[in-house]
Amino acid sequence: MCPGGGYRVLASTHEGLHVAAALNRAGIAAFVLRYRVGPKYHSSVSLLDGQRAMRYVRHHAARFDVDPHRLGMLGFSAGGHLTLAVGTGGESKHSDAQDPVDRQSSRPDFLVPVYAVSNGIVRGRKATEYTPTDTAVSAETPPTFLVHTHEDDIVPANQATLFYDALRAARVPAELHIFGYGEHGVGLASGDPDTHQWFPLLVAWLRRTGFLTAKQRVAIDQPLPLADDIEHPLGMYWVTLIPDDPHAPIARIRQDPRAGKRLTIPAMQGPVSGPHTLQLRRVSHTWEFSATSDYEPIDKVEPMLSENPTISVRVNVDTNGEISLVEAS
């Protein structure tokens, strides 16, 4: 984690230790980086510190009991710029280096820039310190979770959208949240229950993208369990696989009659192996909507608005992606 401070100081308490403790409570290890700042050191030196930190933790992963393939970088403001610079700066490893730490990759596996500067030229301030990072985005850039606030008048929210647009163009997985309230430097925003939601949203994203488990996701392609037990026509419906493991990702797909009573989920959105609850939620009884068709009767619509799914069963997913029903004990 990289606290902010304009590359002059480090806001290491509310943008460092507080966030590290919150991550720890979510079962996530965290390290707060004390990187070198100006005026003595240019941001290019801070970048070296960020790259070295990633290599150091990766090299000592066994000692710290962390997975070297699930290491991310989170940063606020200037620390967010450092995060983006490390994430877009290539792997920066030297296989023939004398120091074994330098043989490790410095590229994070995911990025979390929070009200970060992404391009000092576009921002119009300190362009030589806040070098452009959006222009360095490529297909190799790690998945990114971006947070900003509409009220930030020090680092405008277009710094987040600029980087997000570059991620979309490169087809990099990303999620962007711009909250309506919050001045620059709110950290966890613990005094604002709305803006504070960025942190549980981050944990949910880490879970959803598979960064909280070492298990590999699997593809699903088989007949839809219990399809014959559902009132037909099935119409449009969701199938959601909710794992018992709170750190494993959910898997879901929205389907319609074209699926032909099959459940097909690609591996990138698929479940991991283990016990799950499979939920089917009907969205409509009809398909191929038109501008002149009648509305569905209210007595059929109301059950679809219930918090309870249409069907909920216990299943097990094996490592080959096969789903089997689990008999109730």
* Residue 215 confidence (pLDDT): 96
Contacts of 46 (CB under 8 A, 6+ apart): 7, 35, 36, 37, 82
CA 119, CA 42: separation in Å to the nearest integer?
Answer: 16
Q: Is domain 13-208 in CATH 3.40.50.1820, yes or no?
A: yes
For the segment 250-309, what is each residue's pLDDT rounded down to a tens digit?
A: 999 999 888 888 999 999 999 999 999 999 998 887 777 778 777 776 766 776 677 788
CA angle 143, 146, 149 (to 5 degrees): 175
More confident residue, 227 or 188: 188
Neighbours of 245 (CB within 10 A): 15
Percent of the chain with pLDDT over 90: 79
* Residue 232 confidence (pLDDT): 64
* Residue 297 confidence (pLDDT): 64
In 3-state terms, what secondary structure has residue 302?
helix
* Residue 1 confidence (pLDDT): 97
CA 193, CA 204: separation in Å to the nearest integer?
Answer: 17
CA proximity to 227, closest of 216, 235, 218, 217: 235
* Residue 308 confidence (pLDDT): 80
What average pLDDT score do residues 28-35 get?
Answer: 98
* Residue 311 confidence (pLDDT): 86
CA dihedral 80, 84, 87, 90 (to 10 degrees): -140
β-strand partners of 255:
237
The domain spans of the chain are: 13-208, 220-325
Asked if residue 78 lies in contact with residue 41, where contact means CB atoms within 8 angstroms, the answer is no
Q: Is residue 329 pLDDT above 60, yes or no? A: no
What average pLDDT score do residues 13-36 get?
Answer: 98
Q: Is residue 246 pLDDT above 60, yes or no? A: yes
| H-run or E-run covering 176 | strand 174-179
C-alpha distances in angstroms, 112 versus 115, 145, 300, 314? 10, 5, 43, 35
